Amino acid sequence: MKAGKRNLPIFGLLILISCGAGLPRLLREDISAENNRLQEAERQLQRSGERVREDLAQAPDLFRGASAPAAWNAKLRVAREKLNTAESDGREMTRLARRGRADSRARVEQLLSAERNLRLAALDDAESVETAADKWIDFGKDLPSHLSRMKSEYDAVRAVDLEPVSKSVEQAERDWPTKKADLDNRLASLRDIPKAAETGWRATEAARQDASAGKATAPEIATLIQENELLSDEAARLPAKADDLRASCGQLYDAWDKILTDLDVSRYGRDTIYRERLKTVRTHFVDVASNKTEISSDERWIDVSEPSYDAVQNDLGMTIAHKDAGLFDSEAQTTPQPAGFAYIAPISQGSNQYGYWSHAGGESVWTFLPQYLLMRELLWNHAYRPVLIGEYTAYRTAERGGRSYYGRDPVTSAPRYGSHGTFTQTHYSQSRYLQSGGFKGSAYASHGGSGAFSDLKQSRSAPRTGSFSNGGSAGRRFGSPSGRRFGSFRSPGRSFGRRR
């Protein structure tokens, strides 16, 4: 049965959706449009299969004994299975839409998204197979130019200088010895790429000579095509992997926090835009041995998905991601915690490069070293409260359990940190989120009076409409409007951000 005929019943049923009063008009339009695209994807997949079969028939000697055709056919079968699944999702979507029940909307939207993703994935598979088959045919027709390209790619691999990245790795291993095994493995993998290119180039010498003389056999051409693909991949992969390894070495020298300073929901035309305002406080180690650092801050709005927005609604003013120096960015902690607490040393340790526990008046209090006072002010939004040992102990207990710590105000028993915290009431009262009513769901929100939370007029259910600007400041270095680093901000007798 042809694909087009098999799908006619689905098409007919989907037309009936236009009569379903239970779904919004825009959703019904999306369903109809996606159905039309699915029909076109069926035709495109059929055309791709026919094109590949034509290529195989055009040069049977070229493909004889090669593994590529079997891989292409397998990929086309996978694409067919994806479209079959998309059609199945379409049938269920149609059934739910015809029922016209409001509680089916979420499931219909889920099915619509799944159908779209499957269709696009199937088209990508079909296109990649068709492109690969065409490359083989083109290579066989024009051997001289492809041999020249192979030589260029081989030379490009050999030309990559790995000495700079090797030096970066050596320095990083001295400064951060716990990362030595990881960095050594990645550098060895990098050095294997030009070795593999050299091995492949020498192995194809006879085939290249025969091709240059115009007497290459079909298996030799197939070998050259495969080697050409490998060289092309290695020529692109080697510099990219070298840059990635150098960047990873650089990540070890930074500690950073991403602090959620605001949240916003706006309508822009037909779309609802969810945004987070993040302040990134970065401590860069210029010299690890002498503990010399530079501190910088960057704050900007970013667009996020609705689930991402929902996930941090309780965490205004908190660090939603933190990374210590000596770790890669991929090792960052993502459990929201009060800003700055991650820099405090365990009580049993007593001190670290950022500060120490002092004991006076019957209390143990964390004290930041002078060179980190500016970092402290950024993390606490210029409202630092001394951290007592009891609060830190509660924080560490929550951290070990994988939970966020919101603290407790000793006067009101309300949370101290996060969107519903008393610290946030005072020091983030001008944020869009709190001004628009994001705080009012809290049992600890102020009611009445003239305080910062006495006139909350908008909630998330009534987002602002119209256009908006990004409102994000470009990344800036504190200490000067022109962008000077903390590390170069000088006060009498001290250089903030640096340890002498």
Q: Tell me the pLDDT tens digit for each residue of 76-124.
A: 999 999 999 999 998 888 888 777 777 788 888 899 999 999 999 999 9
| Least confident range of 15-29, 45-59, 271-285 | 15-29
Task: State the pLDDT at residue 330.
Answer: 96
User: Contact 267/464 with Cβ under 8 angstroms?
Assistant: yes
Q: Which one of 251, 273, 308 terminates a domain? A: 251
pLDDT at 176: 97
pLDDT of amino acid 279: 97
Between 472 and 22, the more confident residue is: 22
Is residue 447 predicted with pLDDT exceeding 70? Answer: no
In a domain, 156, yes or no: yes
Give the percent of the chain with pLDDT over 90: 60
pLDDT at res. 495: 36
Asked if 472 and 277 touch (Cβ cutoff 8 Å), the reply is: yes
On whether the CB atoms of residues 439 and 427 are closer than 8 A, the answer is no
CA-based nearest residue to 479, from 487, 470, 469: 487
Q: Is the per-residue pLDDT at 166 higher than 70?
A: yes
User: Cβ contacts of residue 335 below 8 Å, gap of 6+?
Assistant: 399, 402, 403, 404
The pair of structure tokens assigned to 137 is: 């045919």
In the predicted structure, residue 453 carries a pLDDT above the cut 90: no
State the average pLDDT over residues 145-165: 95
pTM: 0.70
pLDDT at 95: 83
Q: Which residues pair with 258 in a beta bridge?
A: 280, 321
AA identity, residue 380: W
Residues 363-382: b if buried by 16+ CB within 10 A, e if exposed: ebebbbbebbbbbbbbbbbe
Per-residue pLDDT of 200-243, as tens digits, reads 999 999 999 999 998 888 888 888 998 999 999 999 999 999 99
Average pLDDT of the chain?
83
Domain stop point among 141, 175, 192: 141
User: Residue range 400-429: average pLDDT?
Assistant: 90
Q: Is residue 500 part of a domain?
A: no
Instruction: Say how many domains are in the chain.
Output: 3
Q: Of 36-45, 297-306, 389-398, 440-449, which gets the smallest average pLDDT?
A: 440-449
The answer to whether residues 283 and 212 belong to one domain is no
Q: Are residues 222 and 274 in the same domain?
A: no
Same domain flag for 272 and 357: yes
Task: With CA atoms as reference, report the closest residue to 370 among 318, 317, 295.
Answer: 295
Note whether 204 and 219 are within 8 A (CB). no
What size, in residues, is the chain? Answer: 500
Judgement on whether residues 203 and 240 belong to the same structural domain of the protein: yes
Cα–Cα dist 230/17, whole Å: 50
Task: Provide the domain limits for residue 351.
Answer: 257-495
Up-side HSE of residue 234: CA atoms within 13 Å toward CB? 30
| 382, 487: one domain | yes
pLDDT of residue 21: 52
The whole-number pLDDT of residue 439 equals 54
Please count the other Cβ atoms lying within 10 Å of the Cβ belonging to residue 22.
18
Pair 121, 192 in one domain: no
* 137 and 149, same domain (yes or no): no
pLDDT over 70 (residue 476): no
162-171, 376-385, 465-474: the lowest-pLDDT one: 465-474
Please enumerate in sequence order all residues whose Cβ is within 8 A of that of 405, keeping only pairs 6 or more positions apart, or say none: 337, 338, 341, 394, 395, 398, 399, 417
192: CB partners within 8 A, 6+ apart: none
One domain for residues 178 and 66 = no
CB 55 within 8 A of CB 133: yes
pLDDT higher than 60, residue 136: yes
> What pLDDT is stored for residue 482 in this prediction?
36
Query: Do 155 and 135 have their domain in common?
Result: no
Q: Return the half-sphere exposure (C-beta side, CA atoms, 13 A cut-off) of residue 453.
A: 24
Phi-psi region of 494 (alpha: psi -120 to 50; beta: other; left: phi over 0): beta
Bigger pLDDT: 269 vs 464 = 269
| Alpha carbon distance 331, 248 (integer Å) | 11
Q: With CA atoms as reference, report the closest residue to 261 among 379, 169, 160, 155.
A: 379
Q: Picking from 30-34, 292-296, 444-448, which range would have the lowest pLDDT averaged per residue?
A: 444-448
295 and 356 share one domain: yes
The confidence score (pLDDT) of residue 168 equals 97
Domain match, 96 and 60 both: yes
pLDDT at 468: 36
Give residue 261's pLDDT: 95
Distance, in Å, from the CA atom of 127 to the CA atom of 44, rounded to the nearest integer, reads: 9
